[in-house]
Amino acid sequence: MIINLSEENAEERAPVRYVDVSEDEAGQRIDNWLMARLKGLPRSRVYRLIRRGEVRVNKGRVQQTYRIQAGDIVRIPPVRLDAPGPADKPSEATRDFLMARIVFEDRQLIVLDKPAGMAVHGGSGLSFGVIEALRAARRDCPYLELVHRLDRETSGCLLIAKRRSYLRGLHQALRDNDMEKRYLALVRGQWDRGRIRLEHRLAVDRDGGAERIVRVDREGKRAVSHVRPVELTGVASLVEVRLETGRTHQIRVQMAAEGHPLAGDDRYGDPDFNRRLRAKGLKRMFLHAHSLSFADPKTGDPRSFSAPLPADLRAALDRLGPS
């Protein structure tokens, strides 16, 4: 359905809904839960509804990070839903392209090597993302949900759960920092510090909506990363970053704070450095989620998945030459 974003006289157009949270839904963030019920509504609008207190849980205000519990009663405010209209859908070529990037699948899980340039979900002006395209391609799977997210320009390992119980188990692993995520990043300058543990406190600002700007702030949330050098070139260094916490834009902000911004990062990076790298053929941010490891929520067995460095990033790195 197409959502009319006009807020005037909303109470007259649609009734308030009160929804009981089931056992299967418990553990989800309130913003994600709402997105599933207000399909097509931009995430920025959902955030605004929560901030204004139009969304209530058990008659009280909550933050967008609140995780709903079984038995919670959620107030969903009036949102006008117009008649269906034309909408972009993932093409057959797009669906086939994503299917070819599945690196592992079983009854519980899909592991996808996400391409750069494709958002993980629709919204904010995007008709569809990875999850919508996969749902269109896999009509045989009645349940497909993102386990976590990657920035639009970040490539690499992305987990999609095929069972609600498996999703809950993986979300618990994320909350407990029991899922190991490793990224490859190209950063400015020579990384001569060897293996190092970085700890900062990061705060998120929103520029009038869903656009997020993260900054180092002593009042922010603790962010910890472990960095080691992999390959040095004349002007940049390829490093592996293992996340101990999972804050928004964590790697990008921490590396910039340490004087080694990511190549191709238009938000936190160095414009002059980015121009030099574009001349070498780098067309996007150099950040790749190359491996994920965790204990299987059902069996406890170790599971590990990886995605190789994409050809475009490898080619740009090779053009820089050795240190």
Q: What are the domain boundaries of the chain? A: 12-76, 92-168, 177-320
The pTM (predicted TM-score) of the whole model is: 0.75
For residue range 126-185, what is the model confidence (pLDDT) as tens digits?
667 899 999 999 989 889 999 999 999 999 999 999 999 999 999 999 989 899 999 999
CATH number for the domain whose boundaries are 92-168: 3.30.2350.10
DSSP result, 185-218:
EEEES---S-SEEEEEEEEEEESSSS-EEEEE-T
Strand partners, 155: 288
pLDDT above 80 (res 4) = no
* Residue whose C-alpha is closest to residue 241's, from 167, 180, 305, 157: 180
CA distance 290 to 157: 6
What kind of architecture, by CATH, is found in domain 177-320?
A: 2-Layer Sandwich (3.30)
Which residues touch 86 (CB under 8 Å, ≥6 apart)?
none
Strand partners, 56: 75
Average pLDDT over residues 39-54: 86
Tokens 């979900």 found at: 121
3-state secondary structure of 10: helix
Q: What is the pLDDT of residue 163?
A: 93
Average pLDDT over residues 92-114: 94
Q: What is the pLDDT of residue 190?
A: 93
Positions annotated as catalytic residues are 151
**The two domains 92-168 and 177-320 share their CATH topology (first three levels equal):** yes
Q: Is 106 exposed, middle or buried (0-12, 13-18, 19+ CB in 10 A)?
A: exposed
CA distance 249 to 256: 11
Average pLDDT over residues 82-111: 82
* Lowest model confidence (mean pLDDT) among 50-54, 55-59, 91-95: 91-95
CA distance 49 to 31: 10
DSSP result, 118-162:
--SS-BTTBS--HHHHHHHH-TT-S--EESS---TT-EEEEEEES
Please state which CATH class domain 12-76 belongs to: alpha beta
For residue range 240-284, what is the model confidence (pLDDT) as tens digits?
999 999 898 999 999 999 999 999 999 999 999 999 999 989 999
